[in-house]
Amino acid sequence: MTVNSWQHDSEYVALVSDLLQRDEVLRLAEFTQHYYSNRLEHSIHVSYRSYLIGKKLGLNTRALARAGLLHDLFYYDWRNTKFDMGTHAYVHPRIALRNAEKITDLSPMEKDIIIKHMFGATLALPKYKESWVVTLVDDYCALEEVGDPLYHRAAARIKKHFGVSIEQ
Ligand SMILES: [Fe+2]
Ligand SMILES: [Fe+2]
Protein backbone atom coordinates (compact mmCIF):
# COMPACT_ATOMS: atom_id res chain seq x y z
CA MET A 1 0.00 0.00 0.00
CA THR A 2 1.15 3.48 -0.67
CA VAL A 3 -0.38 6.29 1.25
CA ASN A 4 -2.10 7.61 -1.87
CA SER A 5 -3.91 4.36 -2.57
CA TRP A 6 -6.72 5.58 -0.30
CA GLN A 7 -8.48 6.96 -3.40
CA HIS A 8 -9.01 3.42 -4.66
CA ASP A 9 -10.20 2.07 -1.33
CA SER A 10 -13.95 2.50 -1.66
CA GLU A 11 -14.64 1.26 1.86
CA TYR A 12 -12.41 3.99 3.26
CA VAL A 13 -13.70 6.69 0.92
CA ALA A 14 -17.28 5.91 1.94
CA LEU A 15 -16.39 6.75 5.54
CA VAL A 16 -14.99 10.19 4.77
CA SER A 17 -16.50 11.30 1.44
CA ASP A 18 -18.92 13.77 3.06
CA LEU A 19 -16.01 15.42 4.89
CA LEU A 20 -13.84 15.54 1.77
CA GLN A 21 -16.53 17.57 0.06
CA ARG A 22 -16.46 20.28 2.70
CA ASP A 23 -14.62 23.50 1.98
CA GLU A 24 -13.62 23.61 5.65
CA VAL A 25 -11.61 20.42 5.10
CA LEU A 26 -10.32 21.16 1.58
CA ARG A 27 -9.01 24.53 2.77
CA LEU A 28 -6.37 22.65 4.76
CA ALA A 29 -4.49 22.27 1.47
CA GLU A 30 -3.58 25.97 1.75
CA PHE A 31 -1.38 25.37 4.79
CA THR A 32 2.09 23.90 4.83
CA GLN A 33 2.27 21.30 7.54
CA HIS A 34 5.63 19.55 7.58
CA TYR A 35 7.72 21.27 4.91
CA TYR A 36 6.91 18.76 2.15
CA SER A 37 3.25 18.21 2.95
CA ASN A 38 0.22 20.41 3.21
CA ARG A 39 -2.19 19.99 6.08
CA LEU A 40 -4.80 18.23 3.95
CA GLU A 41 -2.30 15.63 2.73
CA HIS A 42 -1.06 15.14 6.28
CA SER A 43 -4.62 14.73 7.59
CA ILE A 44 -5.45 12.15 4.93
CA HIS A 45 -2.22 10.25 5.65
CA VAL A 46 -3.06 10.08 9.34
CA SER A 47 -6.67 9.16 8.64
CA TYR A 48 -5.97 6.42 6.13
CA ARG A 49 -3.06 4.84 7.97
CA SER A 50 -5.05 4.85 11.23
CA TYR A 51 -7.99 3.29 9.39
CA LEU A 52 -5.78 0.50 7.96
CA ILE A 53 -4.32 -0.31 11.37
CA GLY A 54 -7.78 -0.25 12.91
CA LYS A 55 -9.04 -2.64 10.28
CA LYS A 56 -6.30 -5.14 11.08
CA LEU A 57 -7.03 -4.87 14.80
CA GLY A 58 -10.82 -4.90 14.61
CA LEU A 59 -11.12 -1.36 15.99
CA ASN A 60 -13.64 1.37 15.15
CA THR A 61 -12.55 2.18 11.59
CA ARG A 62 -15.17 4.89 11.16
CA ALA A 63 -13.93 6.83 14.18
CA LEU A 64 -10.31 6.37 13.09
CA ALA A 65 -10.96 7.54 9.53
CA ARG A 66 -13.12 10.53 10.46
CA ALA A 67 -11.36 11.83 13.56
CA GLY A 68 -8.00 11.15 11.89
CA LEU A 69 -9.07 13.38 9.02
CA LEU A 70 -10.27 16.14 11.37
CA HIS A 71 -7.49 15.98 13.99
CA ASP A 72 -5.67 19.07 12.62
CA LEU A 73 -8.67 21.11 11.45
CA PHE A 74 -7.22 24.53 12.20
CA TYR A 75 -6.34 27.46 9.96
CA TYR A 76 -3.21 29.18 11.11
CA ASP A 77 0.47 28.63 10.46
CA TRP A 78 1.69 26.92 13.61
CA ARG A 79 5.26 27.98 12.92
CA ASN A 80 4.59 31.69 13.39
CA THR A 81 1.50 31.90 15.61
CA LYS A 82 1.65 32.27 19.36
CA PHE A 83 -1.18 31.92 21.86
CA ASP A 84 -1.82 33.29 25.32
CA MET A 85 -3.80 30.19 26.30
CA GLY A 86 -0.91 27.74 25.95
CA THR A 87 1.38 26.05 23.49
CA HIS A 88 0.41 25.11 19.97
CA ALA A 89 0.47 21.45 21.09
CA TYR A 90 -2.15 22.22 23.73
CA VAL A 91 -4.28 24.68 21.79
CA HIS A 92 -4.65 23.27 18.30
CA PRO A 93 -6.45 20.01 19.22
CA ARG A 94 -9.07 22.16 20.99
CA ILE A 95 -9.46 24.45 18.00
CA ALA A 96 -9.68 21.42 15.70
CA LEU A 97 -12.41 19.92 17.88
CA ARG A 98 -14.42 23.13 17.81
CA ASN A 99 -14.10 23.39 14.04
CA ALA A 100 -14.94 19.70 13.53
CA GLU A 101 -18.10 20.00 15.63
CA LYS A 102 -19.32 22.71 13.25
CA ILE A 103 -19.30 20.37 10.25
CA THR A 104 -20.26 16.95 11.65
CA ASP A 105 -21.57 15.11 14.69
CA LEU A 106 -18.76 13.57 16.71
CA SER A 107 -18.95 10.50 18.93
CA PRO A 108 -17.23 10.56 22.35
CA MET A 109 -14.48 8.41 20.83
CA GLU A 110 -13.98 10.79 17.91
CA LYS A 111 -13.73 13.73 20.31
CA ASP A 112 -11.16 11.88 22.41
CA ILE A 113 -9.10 11.06 19.32
CA ILE A 114 -8.95 14.71 18.27
CA ILE A 115 -8.34 16.23 21.69
CA LYS A 116 -5.68 13.71 22.80
CA HIS A 117 -3.74 13.39 19.57
CA MET A 118 -0.79 15.35 20.95
CA PHE A 119 -0.30 12.97 23.85
CA GLY A 120 3.37 13.06 24.75
CA ALA A 121 3.44 16.84 24.35
CA THR A 122 0.20 17.13 26.36
CA LEU A 123 -0.73 15.25 29.53
CA ALA A 124 -4.30 13.98 29.18
CA LEU A 125 -4.21 10.23 28.64
CA PRO A 126 -5.98 8.85 25.55
CA LYS A 127 -9.10 7.00 26.65
CA TYR A 128 -9.52 4.57 23.76
CA LYS A 129 -7.21 2.28 21.82
CA GLU A 130 -8.27 4.24 18.73
CA SER A 131 -6.90 7.44 20.31
CA TRP A 132 -3.55 5.73 20.87
CA VAL A 133 -3.48 4.64 17.24
CA VAL A 134 -4.01 8.18 15.94
CA THR A 135 -1.45 9.81 18.24
CA LEU A 136 1.24 7.29 17.24
CA VAL A 137 0.33 7.41 13.54
CA ASP A 138 0.40 11.24 13.68
CA ASP A 139 4.01 11.07 14.97
CA TYR A 140 4.93 8.63 12.27
CA CYS A 141 3.39 10.69 9.46
CA ALA A 142 4.94 13.95 10.70
CA LEU A 143 8.42 12.40 10.76
CA GLU A 144 7.94 10.72 7.41
CA GLU A 145 6.70 13.95 5.83
CA VAL A 146 9.83 15.84 6.87
CA GLY A 147 12.01 12.94 5.68
CA ASP A 148 13.33 12.34 9.21
CA PRO A 149 14.73 8.80 9.49
CA LEU A 150 13.31 8.70 13.03
CA TYR A 151 10.05 7.65 11.45
CA HIS A 152 11.44 4.12 11.50
CA ARG A 153 11.52 4.42 15.25
CA ALA A 154 7.90 5.62 15.24
CA ALA A 155 7.02 2.59 13.08
CA ALA A 156 8.76 0.30 15.57
CA ARG A 157 6.74 1.84 18.39
CA ILE A 158 3.50 1.13 16.53
CA LYS A 159 4.63 -2.46 15.94
CA LYS A 160 5.45 -2.85 19.62
CA HIS A 161 2.14 -1.37 20.84
CA PHE A 162 -0.23 -2.95 18.38
CA GLY A 163 1.65 -5.86 16.80
CA VAL A 164 1.03 -4.56 13.26
CA SER A 165 3.26 -2.89 10.73
CA ILE A 166 2.47 0.57 9.38
CA GLU A 167 4.89 0.06 6.48
CA GLN A 168 4.30 -2.55 3.84
FE1 LIG B 1 -1.87 18.06 15.42
FE1 LIG C 1 -1.20 15.95 12.83
Alpha carbons 67 and 97: distance in angstroms, whole number: 9
How far is Cα 91 from Cα 88, in angstroms, rounded to an integer?
Answer: 5
Write the pLDDT tens digit of every residue in 51-96.
Answer: 999 999 999 999 999 999 999 999 988 777 777 778 889 999 999 9
Residue 167 maps to a domain: no
100: left (phi over 0), alpha (psi -120 to 50) or beta: alpha
pLDDT for the residue numbered 2 = 62
- The predicted pLDDT at position 168 comes to 61
Between the CA of 149 and the centroid of ligand 1 the distance, in Å, is: 20
pLDDT surpasses 70 at 99: yes
CATH at residue 102: 1.10.3210.10
Question: How many domains does the chain contain in total?
Answer: 1
The alpha carbon of residue 53 and the mean position of all alpha carbons in its chain are separated, in whole angstroms, by 13
In angstroms, what is the span from residue 23 Cα to ligand 1's centroid? Answer: 19
Question: What is the span of the domain harbouring residue 115?
Answer: 3-162
Rounded Cα distance between 130 and 68, Å, is 10
pTM, to two decimals: 0.93
Task: Calculate how far, in angstroms, residue 42's C-alpha sits from the geometric centre of ligand 2.
Answer: 7
Residue 168 lies in a domain: no
- Please report whether residue 71 resides in a domain: yes
Asked if the structure places residue 134 within a domain, the reply is yes
Is 74 inside any structural domain?
yes
Q: Give a yes or no: residue 62 inside a domain.
A: yes
Q: Taking the CA atoms of 115, 61, 65 and 19 in sequence, report the sign of the dihedral they define.
A: negative
